[in-house]
Structure 1
Amino acid sequence: MKKWLSIIGIGEDGIQGLSAIALAVLEQAKIIIGGERHLAMLPPNDRREKITWKSPFDTSITEIINRRGESICIVASGDPMCYGVGATIIKHIPISEITIIPAPSAFSLACSRLGWNFLEVETLSLCGRPASLLQSYIYPGGKLLILSEGKNTPGIVAKMLTNRGYGDSKITILERMGGIHERIFTGRSASWQETEIAALNTVAVECIADVGIVGLSRFPGLPDNAFHHDGQLTKREVRAVTLSTLAPLPGELLWDIGAGCGSISIEWMRSNFRCRAIAIEQNANRLNYITDNAAALGTPNLQIIAGKAPEVIQELPTPDAIFIGGGVTAPGLFDLCWNRLRPGGRMVANVVTLEGEKTLFEWYEKAGGNFTRISIQRAEPIGKFLGWKGMSPVTQWVAYKSSLLTTELCCN
């Protein structure tokens, strides 16, 4: 099918800011789709059919698909593929049917105003997303560019920075960039009081930590006290080894079975913003810990499921990796998990009991893999002195699923 759908990025300077090619594509369209602000940029005498975005957004996507083949042009802010409508539409309509002509993104414009190197900046959007996503981007010396949900977003960002111990961070608001009403002003997070802010704004942050504040690394092995828990926590050193064994890659999905306070799945997701995880836990109090920890550590999109693993995982999406931190002795758990694991995926289990080790050896006899004994000692006070106190040794089993092994297990 020919290219019937076009998506054109448009800036605050409106139609007159479009390139000759973008303008020609827009003029040839029979139907124009966009937000009210974008459609208002068209000439008053433009009599073509115009459609504004509907809520929920999927309704508009369905309407576009139903009109496949008609000459449609979508007008959107800046670069449609940078947290924009284009990134959503491309999931439903192949690029072979679409023409995309971007304008400079808000991030590019902000970097040009501030003199920042785009490659050295952290970027994220809080439009329609939980503000707690910001938590994992905060670190000493970090430079952040944030697409705002609206005029209240800068205040939320300032409060979050201050609460994290970054009260001296410099916040710059860039309003309506590229238009005649462009405005730029700055302040400090701890003393932020600005309320007269345009709804269309981008927030730039230079993270400055208070004296004594230690940043939380995205590298596995956060301090134990970074998590709220009741003792059911994979300790820092064991957690670092476990995440190294799980080896998350961008876009991969983890099942965290017997999640406790969620430390493994949260650190999995912190490793890359595209990593996904599902935390499965049956204890109601621990479910609350997982929710709190996910928000506090910047992974609010962690999917949390209440219940026992064998009963609740059968309909879940196929995982790339599975971690079992509790409940290994549940009947049928191995077969169910192993059969659902994608070929090439890995399965890791940690146990501290003899019964758990017996179960893992049975799994080893079925799927192979290897064992590691993790023994950690920490120095703790003994009277006036320091002495070594050992934590319970952890037996870790890891196996990698191959297509050949899957066939053998099914046949047997």
Structure 2
Amino acid sequence: MKSIHVIGAGIAGQEGFTPRAVELIEQSELLFGSARLLKLFPDYGGEKVLIEDETRAEMVSRLSDFAGRAVVLSSGDPLFFGVGRYLLRNLTDELIEFLPNVTSVQYAFAKIREPWDDTIFVSAQARELKEVVDRIVANDKAAVLTDSINTPGMIGRELLSRQRSGYKAFLCENLGTPEEKIRVTDIRGLLELDVAPLNLLILIKEYEADAQQYVPTLGIPDDEFVSIKKLITKEEIRVVTLAKLKLRHDMCLWDIGAGSGSICIEADHLLPNGRIFAIERNEECRQFIKENLQKFNTRNVALIEGDAPDCLDELPDPDRVFIGGSGGRLWDILETVDQRLGSGGRIVLNAITLDTLTAANEFFGNAGYLVEVVTVNIARTRPYSNYKMFEAYDPVYILTAVKE
């Protein structure tokens, strides 16, 4: 009778298999596995197939055609960065049964005596280094399965380039073997270590005692931001703008004409699982954005250099778009955004001139959007006066357009 069992190997070798797993392996007629795992069964009576000698597609083809009992050996849990996902995509899932085991990640966290239920897991294999480090900085605790390109040293170098050095690093090498070694260091220390090919990197964020920390709140005071002549979206305007964007935790937000980055910095706390792209063409503004992103410990914001809409092609499609500046290309930007925004998506545009408001309103009217405009007039008491007098700011028109 045809059956496919995908069995995870634990850290301890053959003694780590359950009796049922051993029985299934002994009863099978075809056994796939790496050289290290196949060595655990020297007396196996069926056919052994080295996974290294076949592509995954070839393995799937053999499993599809094979009418008997087959076993695929995997490390730890086959559904945790293992072969299980690929097999489920390419074989009838009713034929497959999984028997998971202890993963290297579980084992490593037990060794360093650290809970791991609040950890994000990243596989660096065949991924861009930037993407790997984006995931790391978005969380306080990360376990990284490195590879020969995205090594612990390369990851440490990228973290330092982003001024994210406040991690305690556990380098776990050759787990479960006589050469097992766990070294504790910091991000700079990762650059100096010779690392075994078989390793797991655990990074735990440590906030310095004297570092200034910011509690996520709406309406960060304007003076907290570094900006050009304080030309930023004012605190009260920012709060209303964010309310009109109606952000949910996993959305993708484009901030076009990011200026000082104040909108995307506050949005970062509202999108813990989202992605934010701060698009800015001015070099001086970009430098201030970098300082502000570092100061406020943002996690999900990527700074994009260039002129919109030319630099938008490579970005993922947005769920929300904020336009704080257009560089004189408002109509081109709106046309591009309209092509990329899905049904139900929102665009919020802040205008200080009637010309901008009129042009945007005309575009959205022609494109069939549901449009709302709110005028916000802000006046604050002057801080340096013997009398309670108000200082008025220019009115801001907040336009919200919903794509129907």
The TM-score bracket by the shorter chain reads: 0.5 to 0.7
Mapped to 2, the partners of 1:53 and 1:372 lie a distance apart of 65
> For residues 272 and 178 of structure 1, do their structure 2 counterparts lie closer, same or farther at Cα, with a shift above 3 Å needed?
farther
Mapped to 1, the partners of 2:229 and 2:30 lie a distance apart of 63
- Equivalent pair of 2:64/2:91 in contact (CA under 8 Å): no
Pairwise mapping of residues 7-406 of structure 1 onto structure 2 (< 5 A)?
Answer: 7-23=6-22, 28=28, 30=30, 32=32, 34=34, 38=37, 43=42, 47-52=47-52, 60=55, 62-63=57-58, 69-70=64-65, 74-87=72-85, 95-96=93-94, 98-119=96-117, 121-125=118-122, 127-128=124-125, 129-130=129-130, 132-133=133-134, 134-138=136-140, 144-149=141-146, 153=152, 157=156, 160=159, 170-187=168-185, 195=193, 197-205=195-203, 207-215=205-213, 235=233, 237=235, 238-239=237-238, 241-259=240-258, 274-277=273-276, 283=281, 285=283, 297-299=298-300, 302=302, 304=304, 306-309=306-309, 318-327=317-326, 330-331=330-331, 334=334, 337-338=337-338, 340-362=340-362, 365=365, 366-374=368-376, 393-401=395-403, 406=404
Mapped to 2, the partners of 1:335 and 1:163 lie a distance apart of 34
Mapped to 2, the partners of 1:331 and 1:21 lie a distance apart of 66
Q: CA deviation at 1:213?
A: 0.5
- Partner of 1:69, secondary structure, is helix
How many corresponding residue pairs?
385
Mapped to 1, the partners of 2:303 and 2:58 lie a distance apart of 30
RMSD: 5.3
> For residues 335 and 149 of structure 1, do their structure 2 counterparts lie closer, same or farther at Cα, with a shift above 3 Å needed?
closer
**Residue deviations 1:7-41 (CA, integer Å, cap 9, x gap):** 4432332343223444455563636255x655665
- Partner of 1:342, secondary structure, is coil
> For residues 110 and 223 of structure 1, do their structure 2 counterparts lie closer, same or farther at Cα, with a shift above 3 Å needed?
farther
- TM-score by structure 1 length? 0.65
- Partner of 2:356, secondary structure, is helix
Counterpart of 2:122, as a letter, is S
- Equivalent pair of 2:25/2:31 in contact (CA under 8 Å): no
Mapped to 2, the partners of 1:80 and 1:290 lie a distance apart of 46
- Partner of 1:48, secondary structure, is strand
- TM-score by structure 2 length? 0.66
Unaligned runs of 5+ in 1: 55-59, 139-143, 407-412
- Partner of 1:326, secondary structure, is coil
Mapped to 2, the partners of 1:84 and 1:153 lie a distance apart of 21
Counterpart of 1:81, as a letter, is L
Mapped to 2, the partners of 1:136 and 1:226 lie a distance apart of 22
Counterpart of 1:371, as a letter, is V
Q: CA deviation at 1:229?
A: 7.1
Q: CA deviation at 1:371?
A: 3.1
Mapped to 2, the partners of 1:355 and 1:127 lie a distance apart of 49
Mapped to 2, the partners of 1:303 and 1:91 lie a distance apart of 35
> For residues 43 and 190 of structure 1, do their structure 2 counterparts lie closer, same or farther at Cα, with a shift above 3 Å needed?
same
